[in-house]
Amino acid sequence: MNITRENIDDLNAVVKVDIAKEDYEGKVDKILKDYRKNANIPGFRKGHVPMGMVKKQYGKAVLVDEVNKLLQDSLNKYLTEEKLDVLGNPIPKEQENFDWDKENYSFEFELGLAPEFEVNLDLKEPVTKYNIVADEKMVNKQIENIQKQYGKLKSKDVVEEGDVVAGTFKNEEEGIDHETSVELENIKGKKNLNKFVGAKVGDTIKLNTKGLFEDDHALINHLDIEHDRAHDLDIEVEFTISEINERELADLDQELFDKLFGKDKVKSVTELKEKIKEDAAKQFQQQSDQQLMNDVTEALIEATKFELPKEFLQKWIQTVGEKPMTEEEAKEEYENSEKGLRYQLIEGKIINDNNLNVNFDDLKAFATDKIRQQMAQFGQTDPSQKELDDIAARILSNQDEAKRLSEQLMNEKLLNFYKENMKFNEKEVTYEEFVKEIYK
């Protein structure tokens, strides 16, 4: 067997594999002899079928199968030994009038080669790193939500602002007939709110769904409709009141603090505010980190320039799906996935150049930490190490779970690497300001 490579350019190559009769003959003969021993052909005793008949019936199929196996094994071995960094998979070149009756064969494969490039983390325009803080407005809102959650509902006769009104939304033509409770503070606009204020049990109010709630998604639950339907829904509905309640806020006392955080963990409103800020900071850190990762990814793609074997990749995309694609479909798919491929290459380069690998000990420690956090959420704050190790072993024995955790850990390693090795424009914002900036 002989394998040679012709480099078309820096990103494309053709590999030629020459297979001679002596490369496959021994394996083919052995398989045919085994067939002969076990063949059941009418008119012949088992094991006494003439070899010529066996070859005639099975020879071509066995030959093709063994040559293809030999071809794939030798090609994979060649790519590994030559340390060729290929994109996609080798594409066999079509050969007209290929003749399996010959004894020697030649096959050619197109290769798409990964480009060589360097990643510069010193960006001309540094990425913004957000530090999200809980401002007084947010803390007070959270305290109010806690008081509402642990407060009581007191029945009343006439609706006033801030009440909770139970009733049924109806629209016969649209098939809407749903019982629900409406927090009047979530009603949008004074005009809509005024329709409720002063109403009594049994009254029916006519409302328009467009702009009825602060968030259109509230229509999903209040009208019992699908997500897509809720967006820009503009119909008239009737709301018949069945119950009116005034929400009495819970007192900010030690009983409430103990119920929220455990015995004597929080002893004053000041400590409650600090606890809310502390918990919010942890939650905000996750969102800030995710946004930082997104922004660094975009910035590195933009700053790291290199060519790709575009035509090869489009051709490869045509062949890899369950159904073959047309050239136009493959071109569109390539354009949609090109940015992701570029970052995969950039990320791989960073990982390899900086030895950011995930080993089993890292993965086990990461999984154990995740398990400990989850158990703490359910009140199990002091699990034994054996218990943690047993759960981690079960999780990591599942390939899909192990892969998912490994990807999370690598993502964390990359994020920490970026934080340590890149310069950022640090910006302190409230959560409201953060949302406005990100989704502007």
Return the minimum-mean-pLDDT range out of 59-73, 378-392, 418-432.
Answer: 378-392
pLDDT tens across 119-158, in order? 999 999 999 999 999 999 999 999 998 998 899 989 999 9
d(CA 181, CA 167) in angstroms, rounded, equals 6
* pLDDT value for 407: 94
* HSE-up (13 A, CA, CB side) for residue 380: 11
Does this chain's domain 2-113 share its CATH topology with 152-248?
no
The CATH number, out of the four listed (3.40.50.150, 3.30.70.1050, 3.90.550.10, 3.40.1800.10), of the domain defined by the range 2-113: 3.30.70.1050
Q: Is the per-residue pLDDT at 58 higher than 90?
A: no
Contact by Cβ (8 Å): 111, 13: yes
Say if domain 152-248 classifies as CATH 3.10.50.40.
Answer: no
Say whether pTM exceeds 0.95: no
For the residues 355-362, what does the mean pLDDT come to? 92
Tokens of 158: 């006439």
Name the residue ranges covered by the structural domains of the chain: 2-113, 152-248, 267-306+354-438
Q: Where are the beta strands (DSSP E) in 125-235?
A: 127-133, 152-155, 164-171, 176-183, 204-208
Contact by Cβ (8 Å): 121, 421: yes
Return the minimum-mean-pLDDT range out of 39-48, 66-75, 215-224, 339-348.
Answer: 39-48
Tokens of 310: 């575009």
Tokens 């070859």, residue located: 55
Q: Is the per-residue pLDDT at 108 higher than 80?
A: yes
* pLDDT value for 224: 93
Q: Is the per-residue pLDDT at 46 higher than 90?
A: no
Which amino acid makes up residue 142? Q
* pLDDT value for 275: 92
* pLDDT value for 213: 92
